[in-house]
Chain A
Amino acid sequence: MKYCSLFGTFFKVGATTIGGGFAMIPALKYELVHNHGWITEEEFTNYMVVAQSMPGIFIANMATAVGYKLKGTRGAIVALLGCAAAPIIFILLIAAVAHQLNHIAIVEHIFMGLRPVVVALIVVPVFTLARSAHLTWCNCWIPLATLLLIVLCHISPVWIVVAAIAGGFLWGAQRNKRELP
């Protein structure tokens, strides 16, 4: 029985939250902590930290964590599929329709208005992340070098992320060593 409500809960959160990612936190918290009482508020915060520091999609990682806690690996799979199901179905319907509609003039006109807005929406997180990542004059070479390597040298972001993990790990190990007696 729990598998059904596990799937249903994540299906509901996936189907009702527009804007994705962090817009889902309040709804998710209400469902998991207050409505079902599956996890405590403290566990929710812990899972959030883990889900954010792992690669991938935040809500999918939360689903994996909660599903695993309640029902093991099988629970994790059920919760994961639950949160992905609704978006996949929605987008498939839209994709099927959109591929028929894009020859109509008014649809094209609406998209001509939407495009600059979308580009702006991708520019905004550059500024907001700069604040939350504590960007300073000393470390701004990291995002700048990333930008130049991708745009000018056509290096894949994949390699830059791999290099950042290796570099951060070595730097952290160095700092650890220095602070230990």
Chain B
Amino acid sequence: MIFLQLFLTFLKIGAVNFGGGYSMLALIENEVVDRHGWMTTTEFTDIVALSQMTPGPIGINVATYTGYTAVISAGYNIPLAVCGALLASLSVLIIPFSLMLLLFAVLSHTQEHKSIKTVMAVLRLTVIGIIAAAACSLLTIDNFGTPALSLQFITSTLLFACTIYFVWHKQVNPLWALLVGGIVGGLVYSFAPAP
């Protein structure tokens, strides 16, 4: 039952997502692509690109899009896909929301506790590994092109390297990188001779 699976999957992702948007992307990638096979690596990468370019937190964006696509891929119609999208994006919010309310109800003021600090420090380190794992599973021939030294592979590698350099070193807004990638892709692959 796709709807129950979507609900449970995104409930779980919401509960264990420490460390912001990219950690959530990594969790969604692991569940949705590697575990459930609701979409391919390429589809997931495209969804991330679209979610980056639209307003709103990337976690909600990707959850909505994933819910929609998973239900369509399971062979249902568009109204049901909209329900799947709503279900996925709302279930990701349930547990954090409940925990926040619980925290406010139980504690009148937040106490700084050494154990909590250590937990956060360990979690921050774990999140690095989780995001790195997602990056590894996205470094595929589907996303970069094949064979090696083909036009697509060389273009992809250049775009990849330039994005890392400019976004990490020069702190360029990721939106510019996406804009350049889209334009380069549109020009190079439309005008290059077909292999």
Contact = CB atoms under 8 A, between A and B. Distances in A.
A125 B22 contact: yes
A141 B128 CA distance: 11
A21 B14 CA distance: 15
Given A21-B58, A122-B135, A88 B18 contact: no
Nearest to B191: A109
Interface in B116-144: 116-139, 143-144
Summarize B's interface: helix, strand, loop or mixed. Answer: helix
B50 A161 contact: no
Contact residue range for chain A?
Answer: 35 or more
Nearest to A144: B129
A155 B31 CA distance: 11
Contacts of B108: none
Contact residue range for chain B?
Answer: 35 or more
Interface in B87-141: 89-90, 92-93, 95-97, 99-101, 103-104, 110, 113-139
Contacts of A20: 21, 56-59, 61
A164 B182 CA distance: 38
A143 B126 CA distance: 5
B25 interface: yes
B82 interface: yes
5 contacts: A57-B14, A88-B56, A111-B46, A113-B189, A168-B121
Given A21-B21, A55-B15, 19 more contacts: A49-B110, A54-B103, A56-B97, A57-B17, A61-B96, A87-B56, A102-B46, A110-B185, A115-B144, A117-B181, A119-B143, A120-B161, A128-B168, A143-B128, A156-B31, A157-B30, A160-B126, A160-B130, A175-B118
Interface of B: 12, 14-22, 24-27, 30-31, 34-35, 42, 45-46, 48-61, 64-65, 68-69, 72, 78, 81-82, 85-86, 89-90, 92-93, 95-97, 99-101, 103-104, 110, 113-139, 143-145, 152, 155-157, 159-161, 163-164, 167-168, 173-175, 177-178, 180-186, 188-190
